[in-house]
Amino acid sequence: MLEFDLPDPGRPLRVLAVGAHCDDIEIGAGATLHALAAARPETQFCAVILTSVPQRAAESRSCLAAFVEPATIEVTVHDLPDTRLPAHFDEVKDILAELSRSPWDLVLSHQPNDAHQDHRLLGQFVPTAFRGHLVWQFEIPKWDGDLGSSGANVYVPLSADDIARKWATLDEHYPSQRGKDWWDAQTFAALARLRGMECRAPYAEAFRVDKQRVRFEG
């Protein structure tokens, strides 16, 4: 199985996460953010969320901050309408174009074949906006049943403790989600166990990478 390290150019890593909704980044990549922060606490994290209301924005800020401790994260929350991102094509493109001007080492966002229209739009736009960046596209479990087509090919191995911490952090910081039938520890552990099986680890978060440039120096 191929493994590689994120670049270490003698400076802090710069990691950007772009989500359609509050909780998307944390559900798709929360444990990965935590692992990065634990390994490289000097990492500069930034999160951008396209749709929200004030309560959910506050939840996301606190949850993301918890995931990246002991590092810190800059969180920007826009107020585009939930489930209507395709109708706001120009605004989304402008936000991504502005973000792409920074030299991120890693960009995390949605997958292009996600069944939710807001997720799918970002999944399609992010790789074209960030053409010179390494992009990992995360998956979101939901009732649409689209996980079979995720095309995951990058895995971040996790332990049982990592998955328990992920659920505890999500549930602590998102009281607005607790009444939903899919919001429980089993949902997130089940997907992580399957992805772990695929990479011979107890658990894992999985991502899709369409393009990766490799440069050998020596």
**Residue 148, in any domain of the structure:** yes
Per-residue pLDDT tens for 65-83? Answer: 999 999 999 999 999 999 9
Give the orientation angle of helix 24-39 with respect to helix 54-68, to 10 degrees: 30
**Residue 6, in any domain of the structure:** no
**pLDDT recorded at residue 2:** 55
**Residue 216, in any domain of the structure:** no
**Residue 2, in any domain of the structure:** no
Domain that holds residue 107: 14-208
Q: Which residues contact 184 (CB under 8 A, 6 or more apart)?
A: none
Residues 70/37, Cβ–Cβ less than 8 Å: yes
Share of the chain above pLDDT 70, in %: 94
State the average pLDDT over residues 192-196. Answer: 96
pLDDT band at 214 (very low <50, low <70, confident <90, very high): confident
Predicted TM-score of the model (pTM): 0.94
List the one residue out of 24, 46, 27, 33 whose CA is nearest residue 6.
33
Give the CATH number for residue 175: 3.40.50.10320
**Residue 218, in any domain of the structure:** no
**Residue 139, in any domain of the structure:** yes
Residues 43/140, Cβ–Cβ less than 8 Å: no
Per-residue pLDDT tens for 89-140? Answer: 999 999 999 999 999 999 999 999 999 999 999 999 999 999 989 999 999 9
State the average pLDDT over residues 188-201. Answer: 96
State the average pLDDT over residues 177-193. Answer: 95
**Residue 4, in any domain of the structure:** no
Distance CA 179, CA 73 (A): 28
State the average pLDDT over residues 44-59. Answer: 94
Do strands 73-80 and 44-51 pair parallel, antiparallel, or not at all (unpaired)?
Answer: parallel
Residue 7 has pLDDT above 60, yes or no: yes
**pLDDT recorded at residue 45:** 98
Q: How many structural domains are present in the chain?
A: 1
Distance CA 66, CA 60 (A): 10
**Residue 61, in any domain of the structure:** yes
